[in-house]
Amino acid sequence: MKLTIIFGLLILTTIGLLVACNNRPTDKSDKEIFEEILNDPRVNSKEVGEREGIKYFQVKKNGKTGFRDLDGNIVIEPIYDMAEMFSEGFSAVRIGDKWGLIDESGKYIIEPRFEYLGSIHDGLASFRTNDKYGFVDVTGQEKIKPEFDWVDEFSEGLCVVRNDNGKIGYGKNGYIDTTGKLVIDCKFKYAGKFENGIAKVQDDKNFLTIDKMGNNIDTENNKN
C-alpha cells in the first residue's frame, strides 16, 4: 500500500513537472530531470512519510541512489546503482551487478554478492541464482532453496511462488510458508498477497477470495 501511494504521487508529480519542463527551454537530460523529480519534496513529502510510517526516502544524484530523511537531509550518500525502499529496517542495494543489504545507518549487513536480492518481508528476502529463486534471512543465510521460477514477497507468513515447467510465465501460482513448505498448491493463474487473512486469486475461469488454508471464502459465504 505504501509503495502504491508513493508511486501514484510520483506519477502525478512527474506529469505536472514534465508539462512545466516542456513549456521552457532546457539543456537537462532525461536522467537529470527524473532525478529532480524524485528529489522534489512535493513527491516525497514529510506529510506522506509520517502518514505512511516511512523513515527515509530515496534520493538520486548523478545516477546513483541514496536516502534522505523526512526533512530532506541526506542520511545515506547516493553511492548505489539501485536501492530499494527500506523494509523492516533494511534496504536491498545494488553495486555494479551484485546485490547486498544495508541497515538504516548505511552499514552492510550482507555484502554485495547476490545476482539479485529482494526487500525484507517477514524477515526474509528473495534471491536469485541460476535463474531460480529462493530466500535468505537478514544475515544472508539461505532459508529456502532456490527452486522457484518466480516469487513474490512474504506477507502474513505466506508468499506466492510459481514454477513454469519450461514455459516462462505460463506456470501456476501457489503459496509457501516461511519454511519453504508449499501450503497451498500451485493451481492459480493469478495469486495476490495475503492481507487481513485473505487473498485474491484466479483459477482457470474466475477470480476468487481464499483464506490461508486455500478455502474459497466466496463459496463459504454463499452457503450462509
Per-residue confidence (pLDDT) for residue 93, from 0 to 100: 98
| Structural domain spans, the chain | 149-224
Eight-class DSSP state of 20: H
32: confidence class by pLDDT, cuts 50, 70, 90 = confident
- Tens of pLDDT, residue by residue over 85-142, are 999 999 999 999 999 999 999 999 999 999 999 999 999 999 999 999 999 999 999 9
User: Could you give the CA distance from residue 60 to residue 31 in angstroms, rounded to a whole number?
Assistant: 10
Cell (9 digits) for 41: 519534496
Q: What is the pTM assigned to this prediction?
A: 0.80
The length of the chain in residues reads 224
Per-residue confidence (pLDDT) for residue 50, from 0 to 100: 82
Cell (9 digits) for 15: 506529469
DSSP string, 169-201: T-SEEEEEETTS-EEEEEEESEEPPPBTTBEEE
